[in-house]
Amino acid sequence: MTNAELLAEKKARLAKVIALEKPDRTPVILMEDSFCAVHMGVKLSDFCSSLKRENEVMVSSVKAMGPGVDGITAPYGAGNLFPLIFATKVKLPGKELPDNTLWQLDEREIMTVDDYDTIIDKGWGAFQRQYLIEKINYPFDSMMEQLGHGQEFINNFEEAGYLVYSPVVAATVNEQFGGGRSLPKFMRDLFKIPDKVEAALDVIQAETVAVLRQQIRAFKPQVVFLSPARGASAFFSPKLWERFVWKYLKATAEVIIEEGAAADLHIDGDWTRDLEYFKELPKGKCIFETDGTTDIYKIKEVLGDHMAIKGDVSPVLTSLGTPDEVYAYASKIVRDIGPNLILSSGCSLPPNAKVENVKAMISAVTGR
């Protein structure tokens, strides 16, 4: 089978799972970036030096895992891109951190309450660029130039026979304030000036969704990754969650679906309370991607006939467990969740995951 045929087979397999049809086998999608660097013996500082370097290392790592892997979540790492999502600084290995330390959000209050007004008056795009360059010292233009090579990065995987699960990545708009204001200050704003926060979020949402539509039309992705990482039910009262998380999550997912892609809902944290809301999204068009904090069996019980489920071999297991423990858990969810499962780690594979454990996870599908 040629790589092109392999790729077509993997895309068809994934499409079946998303459409809630029975695939020939469970697809395996690796959500990984820093792990690839460690796997390939590359220092994290070197890995983070450019998106091109990240892509090279990630392609090598996926190839080394073998053809049983269907694909990878994104064509490059997340660390350099965090400021675009969280409006906050990120400490990088080799710069603010030692060479082999994982990147870290440097969360502090940089955005001010007055910035809500600026965003409402002047719009998000102009504010964001100036804010990132002047307040965070982010290499905005360089990063945009690098992102412009996105199709080449995708091709590097596809030519090797591996799909890029989500060539387009989006985040719900509340992330910008959760990071930029810092979470404690953002929470206080929700308590004291909710109307102003919502007005600013509406401005960001309108512009973000317009850009997202363009990206989907340009890349024609099968899936779009949508992260409401700090939107977990556990962090908000029901009323605030509905107003400041679900409203934007649902609207963005609907745009993704309207543009012809499936929405991968990257659900970190505990969302158990609000699982029923997800039934409002179209059937067979979404993937509930759990990091394991929301119990995968509960997700199946509530949403199993409505959307695919992706996950959830935990970082604890991949970094601290044994291959037998990983194999046993992965095999169990493959069996129990059934044909609607996309096997993956719960959130990203950590850099200290053991290679033999990742292989054990894959072998739950391909055989040992």
Partner 1 sequence: MYIILIAGFLGSGKTTFIRQLAQYLVNQHGKAVIIENEAGEVGIDDQFLAREGFQVKEVMGGCICCSLTADLTLAVNSIEAEFHPDWLVIETTGLAKPAKVIGTLTSYGQGIDRIYTVIIVDAGRWPELMEIMPQLISAQVSEADLVVVNKIDEIGPDGDLARVLAEIGEINGRAQVIPLAAAMQIEETIFRGLCLNARGGSEDSPA
> By the criterion CB under 8 A, which residues form the site for partner 1?
34, 78-79, 82, 86, 97, 101-109, 182-184, 187-188, 190-191, 229-230, 233-237, 240, 268-270, 273, 291, 293, 314-316, 318-320, 346-348, 350, 352
Q: How far is the CB of 100 from partner 1 (least distance, A)?
A: 12
Which residues touch 69 (CB under 8 Å, ≥6 apart)? Answer: 28, 29, 30, 62, 162, 362
- Contact indicator for 118, 127 with CB cutoff of 8 Å: yes
* C-beta of 354 vs 359, nearer to partner 1: 354
Largest CA distance in the chain: 61
* C-beta of 79 vs 150, nearer to partner 1: 79
Which residues touch 10 (CB under 8 Å, ≥6 apart)? Answer: 27, 70, 71, 161, 162, 163
* C-beta of 7 vs 309, nearer to partner 1: 309
CA dihedral 353, 18, 20, 249 (to 10 degrees): 90
* C-beta of 212 vs 347, nearer to partner 1: 347
Distance between CA atoms of residues 324 and 327, nearest Å: 5
Distance between CA atoms of residues 88 and 15, nearest Å: 35
Distance between CA atoms of residues 154 and 219, nearest Å: 10
Q: How far is the CB of 261 from partner 1 (least distance, A)?
A: 23
Which residues touch 271 (CB under 8 Å, ≥6 apart)? Answer: 232, 233, 234, 294
Q: How far is the CB of 209 from partner 1 (least distance, A)?
A: 22
Q: How far is the CB of 343 from partner 1 (least distance, A)?
A: 17
Q: How far is the CB of 34 from partner 1 (least distance, A)?
A: 7
Q: Please name the residue that has the structure tokens 């599908």.
A: 365
- Contact indicator for 311, 291 with CB cutoff of 8 Å: yes
* C-beta of 210 vs 316, nearer to partner 1: 316
* C-beta of 73 vs 222, nearer to partner 1: 73
> Cα angle vertex 35, ends 31, 37, to 5°?
125
Q: How far is the CB of 125 from partner 1 (least distance, A)?
A: 23
Amino acid type, 213: R
* C-beta of 216 vs 302, nearer to partner 1: 302
Q: How far is the CB of 12 from partner 1 (least distance, A)?
A: 30
